[in-house]
Amino acid sequence: MKPTFAFVTQSYRKDIRECELLCESIDRFAGPDVPHYIIVNDDDYELFRSNAAFARRHIHRKKELMPRYMMRLPFTMLGHRYRVSPFTIPVREWIEQQICKLGIFSILPSEVEAVVNIDSECVLLRPFGLDDISRVRPDGSREWMLYKRIYEDEPSHDQYCRVARSLLPLPASPDTDAYCYMAHPAVFVRENLDALLEMIASRSIFGSWKHKLCNTYRFSEYYLYGLCTDHLLGWRNHYPYDTRILPATHISRFSTSGELRDTLQTLMSTPGIYGAWLQKGKRTEQTLPHGEVAAVVREFF
C-alpha cells in the first residue's frame, strides 16, 4: 500500500488570514488530494468551519484531543488562556497546542502513516509532495525526514533537553544536549509517536501521557519526538536532514513589500527550499499589512 501523509495545522482566529494563505499554497503546490487537518480553539470552530477557504479541510476542536476532565476558562489570566482541572496545573494554550500535535493520530484514519506539522504562518512556494519529505529504502519501505542540526541559538534549548530527560529514558550522553530538532515542517510517524507516548505514559502515576504533559510547565514536542527517535528508536522510520526547508522570515523586519519580494526570490533560488515561515513576531510590532504580504506571496504561485 502506498504510504500516505496528511498536513496538520494548529490555528486560531488571529491567524485565520495567514491560515487561508497557507491553504491556498498547499492546494497550489501539494495538490487537493493530500488531506489537511486544522485544529482550532473550541470557540473558533464555527469561524473556521464556515469559511469557504477551508471547505475541503477537516476542522477539529482542541477539546477533542485534550483530556475530558479539563475545562477551558472563558477569560484570560496574565495574557494567556488556560484549561484547568483538579488533576493538573493550569495548562496554557501553548502547551495545549503541543499536546494536540502529539495526540493527532487519535482522530486520523488508520491509513495515514505520517503527519506534516505546518504552521499557519507558513507558505509553500514550489511543488511539494511525498518524495520531498521521504525516501525509499533498499527493502522498499519508506523513511521520512527528521530535522537534526548542531544546536546554535534555539530559545529554551537547554530547558527542552532537560525536560526531555525527565520524561524519557534518554542515555546520559552529551549528544542528547548537542542538537536541535525544531523546524517547519516537522514530520511525525504514527509508529514512532505511539512509542514516544508510551514511554511518557510509563512515567505518569496515572499511566497517561496527557496527564504527565499537562503537569509539565514547558516542553517541546519536536525535541521529545526528535530525541526519542534519535536516541531510543535508532532512527526507525526516519533519516536525518539539516536544512530548514521553510526558513523563518520575520515580516516585522520589512518596511516595504519589495523587501519581502527580494527576500523570497533569494530563498527560492536556493536548492532544497520549498517556501517560507512568515513569522509576524510580537503582536505589538509594526509589520507589513497582510494584504501586501499575500499579494507578494501569490506572485510566486
Residues 273-295: tens digit of each pLDDT: 999 999 987 655 667 899 999 99
What pLDDT sits at residue 264? 97
What pLDDT sits at residue 3? 59
Q: Are 54 and 27 in contact (CB under 8 A)?
A: no
Alpha carbons 226 and 212: distance in angstroms, whole number: 19
| Closest-CA residue to 123 (of 246, 267, 242, 17) | 246
> What residue type is assigned to position 123 of the chain?
V
What pLDDT sits at residue 155? 85
- SS3 assignment, position 157: helix
Distances (CA, A) of 235 to 68, 103, 145, 229, 239: 33, 21, 10, 5, 6
Pairing mode, strands 4-11 and 112-117: parallel
What pLDDT sits at residue 1? 53
Task: Tell me the average confidence (pLDDT) per consecutive run of 10 residues in the chain, 301 residues long.
Answer: 85 96 98 95 96 96 96 84 94 96 97 97 96 93 95 90 96 91 96 98 95 97 98 97 95 92 96 95 72 96 94
Q: Are 67 and 210 in contact (CB under 8 A)?
A: yes
